[in-house]
Structures are given as C-alpha cells and as structure tokens.
Amino acid sequence: MNMKIAAISNATPRSRNWFQIAAQYAWLFAGFVLLALGVDMLRIAHLGLPPWNVLDHGVAVRTGLSFGWASVLVGLVMMLISAALGEPPRLGTVLNMTLVGLLTDAIPAWGWLPDPDAVSPGAPMGLRLAYGLGGVLVLGVGVGWYITANLGAGPRDSLMLALTRRSGKSVGTVRTALELAALALGWALGGEVGTGTLLTAVTLGWVVQGSLWIFHRLPFSFGLDGGPRSGPAAPRAGAEPAGRSPGRPPRVGVS
C-alpha cells in the first residue's frame, strides 16, 4: 500500500449549504474528542509522557514556566515554523489549541474514563499496556479524523503536513521523525521519558497515516480530493495536477 498521502489538497467546494458546514464542524469536533480521549488513555497508562509533552515538560523545567504555558509556547513556535513552511494557521488551528485541552479535562468528568490522576501507577501492567496501546490508536485516528475536516490542523500537525508536502516522504515517516526529535530534545532539556514515550514515538505516525488513508476514501469530503462535493472535481490521490511537472512532490496538508 503506497502511503505517500497526496490526498489532502487546497480544493474547496464552490458552494455549501448550512447542513454541509455544520457537518464539517461536527466532524472536526468529533476528531477533537478522539484526540482528548487518546491523551487521557495515555495518561491513565502511566508509561511516560507522549514525545511532544516530554518537550513541553523539558521547556517547563528549563524556563520555570508551568507545564500548560510551556505547551502553549511550544505550540506557538511550531505554528510559526509551519506558517513559514506554507501551512498557515486557520480556524481549526485555534480551535485545536483551545478545545482539546478542555476536552481532556472534561472526559473524566463525563465518566467516560477514570480520572488519570486517580489511577495508581502500580495498576497491573497488562491494564496499563492496554490503555497505552489503545491511547496511541485512538489518538492517531483522532488526528486523521480532524485533519480531514479541512479546517486547519493544530501547530504540531501543521508542521507534520508541511514537512510531508515539502519532502515527498510519507506521513508515517515524517511524523515518526518529528516524534523522535521532540523526544530527544525534550529529554535533553530534562523532560520525563518512559517506555510509553518511545512506544508512542515509533507507532503514532503510522496510525495517523493509516487513518488519513481511510478517511480520505470515505464517500463524502470536505473540500478534499477523492469524494463527492459541489464544485469542480479535484484530481484523485497520486494523479499529477495540471501545471505541475511529473515527479514533483504533490501537496499534502490543509492550508
């Protein structure tokens, strides 16, 4: 299976009704819920912070900022880099930065999962591994889900999309490289690393890639290639768009 993912393009529908717009935002929000659910499952596992959170923690250790503000700072830096690489922030970027954190707190309050802070790190390893593996799966599916709403990606996901588009490498390869880089930099700054950190670093990118591949092929689309839409049809994944030389890496990402 070729997973270069040329699926997400700049194409936007010529006209949309209110139902289509509402469906697009509902899809985005559902993806955010999955992101938050995956994060909470990883927290319950007590197997180590995810790589980007290791970087957030390392920045907090070095600067004296709170973990939350360090995360905001890292996100802003990633957003600026992504914009410089051709993935400017959009409404979905702002919503990602504000809603996912709130949902992460809300999910235990809704009773969907135990409170991660109340789960003992001494819980059976089998249960913790199940939460850890499940968290990676849910988190990766959530990333692919909300990105295909075509309303913009969060700062770290925007960087993934920008580098994938520019390098011509697969989403899985680029995301894994970014996760490992965040892990290494965070560890060097004093961030907390565990076995689950490495597990997330080497598996999450491939789950994201697979989920993008699946969601791109659904029988509907939000201004993306490969599904019915109002307006002119866009080329399918892998096709050479008019005006682009053969062999040049296709655009990947939401802009």
Give Cβ neighbours of residue 80 (< 8 Å, ≥ 6 apart). none
Which pLDDT score is estimated for 224?
54
- Confidence tier at 157 by pLDDT (50, 70, 90): very high
CB distance 153 to 92 below 8 Å: yes
Least confident piece of the model among 35-39, 88-92, 218-222: 218-222
Model confidence pLDDT, tens digit, residues 200-213: 999 999 999 999 99
Please state, in angstroms and rounded to a whole number, the distance separating the CA atoms of residues 226 and 62: 46
Q: Looking at residue 83, what is its pLDDT?
A: 96
Decide if 87 contacts 158 (C-beta within 8 A). yes
pTM: 0.78
> 8 near 90, Cβ under 8 Å?
no
Q: Read off the pLDDT of residues 174-201 as tens digits, 9 standing for 90 and up.
A: 999 999 999 999 999 999 899 999 999 9
How far apart are alpha carbons 54 and 157 in whole angstroms?
16
Paired tokens of 100 = 């996912």
Domain boundaries, the chain: 27-216
Q: Which two tokens stand for residue 157?
A: 């996901």
Q: Interhelix angle for 171-188 vs 195-216, to 10°?
A: 150
Q: What is the pLDDT of residues 1-22, one digit of tens each?
A: 444 444 444 444 445 688 888 9
pLDDT > 70? residue 244: no
In the predicted model, is pLDDT for residue 118 greater than 70? Answer: yes
Predicted confidence (pLDDT) per residue in 211-222, tens digit: 999 998 887 667
3-state secondary structure of 52: helix
pLDDT in the model for residue 189: 96
